[in-house]
Amino acid sequence: MWRRLGMVSTGVGLILTGCATTQRTDDLVRPDTTEVSGKTHRRFEIGRSVEGTTLVMDVFGTGSERLLIFGGIHGNEPTSATVAHDLIDYLAANPEAYLGRRVGVIPEVNPDGLARGTRSNVRGVDLNRNFPAENWKRSAGSANRHGERPASEPETRALLRAIEYLQPERIVSIHSIGRGRHCNNFDGPARYWAELMAEQNGYVVAESMGYPTPGSFGSWAGVDRLIPTITLELPRELDAETTWQENRTALLAFICNGFAD
């Protein structure tokens, strides 16, 4: 039995619907809902990858304050996905962490790349250069690294679909980078959040990564749309558990503006 959640006008022409299961990748579907003591945890299918892997977003709470955290957009940065998975587990076990808020978490934007250990998706497109930002441009030469056009890739469109649905007021995109360059990078009006997270994880606050990022998520969400956007660059050499412990309170501070146990 399908239950329509409502029509939404989007840049990718999508309709949002809810149900138990579906094969349609143009729909945002809700396959599961858990409610404990008024705390709601829902899991949505937001689309499919090039190879047909299901992309999911866990949404915690029903509050008016909305935020999004996602990882795994680059397949050669696996701890960005494991930290997001750890956050899902934490929020599921600690509903007080999102009280009064609506928190979306997408752990794996690029599951095919994660399976292969490649930065790009299986078509060779760097998804973090494929967003419809004003600074998007085709990659030089014959390589298709930025995509044939903005939002050409199904994984990019899935993330755009999730944002259209959730309408987050602030966003964290989790990445990893060589130690010494790890930081709380920010785009748009997000310095406050970068400094707040820095108090917890000890990473530097960086207004720029020091190189051009045409078509990046931060350019699209933070610069063009003025959604406070943090690119959390984890130290790539750290193991998954240490990385989570180093950033747990920083992510909780971002969620709750200072909450940490």
Q: Does residue 241 have an active-site annotation?
A: no
Within-domain flag for 53? yes
CATH number at residue 60: 3.40.630.10
The total number of structural domains that make up the chain: 1
pTM of the model: 0.86
Q: Kindly give the parts of the chain with pLDDT less than 50.
A: 1-27, 36-38, 258-261
pLDDT on residue 233: 98
pLDDT on residue 144: 82
Within-domain flag for 190? yes
Catalytic annotation, pick one of 233, 237, 241, 246: 233
pLDDT on residue 109: 98
Within-domain flag for 246? yes
Within-domain flag for 235? yes
pLDDT on residue 213: 86
Within-domain flag for 195? yes
- CA-based angle 129:243:167, to the nearest 5? 45
**What is the residue range of 34's domain?**
3-256
Within-domain flag for 77? yes
Q: Are 247 and 201 in contact (CB under 8 A)?
A: yes
pLDDT on residue 12: 37
Within-domain flag for 261? no
